[in-house]
Amino acid sequence: MLYLRPDIAAIMIYLTMQTAAACVNPHLSERDYSAVGIVKNTDGDVIYEEHHNHKADETGGISEVKYKSTTGRIIARKILDYNCRASAPDYVLTMHHDQKWIEEVRWQSDKLVVTHPEGKEILDVVDNNSLIIDAGFDNFVYENWSELMLGVEKEFDFLHVKGNDLYRLVIKLHAGTPDIAVPTDVVLFKIMAKNRFFRLFSEPIYLGYNKQTRLLDFYFGPTNLRGDVAGLEKSKQITINYLYN
């Protein structure tokens, strides 16, 4: 889902809201799906895998992500509950090397309760269509697809859990970069800090989406797993290619 303030670069490492009567998001509620993300470092070596399973329902459904090492060992597990908030789900991330390392975000009315190893915070936020939490970004792209394809830049607030704060980011259509091979059936988007000065302290994230299905095809950017767990000490950037069942 990728600073002058100590955590402006960290926000790039971690990649809405309707009423109950109209909370169905077609991207989430229309079907169950599963996918595998193959994660490679800058040398092209597979370093871990993401195994995604989504169970759909009228409120958006529940997603589970298992992060597995190259030997099949589960190194982390994430549960996302969309519950009528397609772009800002509740979630719990547990690192399996240490069951005490848990990151959690949950809605309580109009407040966000954010829990992580450094503590617990309750945040007052504006529950609107520009608030993004974790993997909810994928649904933000889906909902704004037409404008993005026309070249319109879209701004959004992304929750940085460890900083207990929201950061203003922007996504836009991107023609391409020499470091990323883009298939002809894929469109590339670029995410970066809105503030131009902050961009000096953070790397952008690139997302490739299939033009027909609008499903995420690949990700290029930093990882939200810690290097000592995922074997990422020598790789600041990763590429994830997704295969859907």
What residue spans define the domains of the chain? Answer: 8-244
Average pLDDT over residues 118-146: 85
- pLDDT tens figures, 181-218: 788 999 999 998 887 766 655 788 899 999 999 999 99
Q: What is the pLDDT of residue 141?
A: 92
Contacts 24+ apart (CB under 8 A), 148-154: 148/172, 148/173, 148/189, 149/173, 149/187
Torsion of CA 225, 231, 235, 240, to 10 degrees: -60
Label residue 92 by pLDDT band (50, 70, 90): very high
Average pLDDT, the chain: 79
Torsion of CA 66, 94, 128, 156, to 10 degrees: -80
Segment 139-150 mean pLDDT: 94
pTM of the model: 0.81
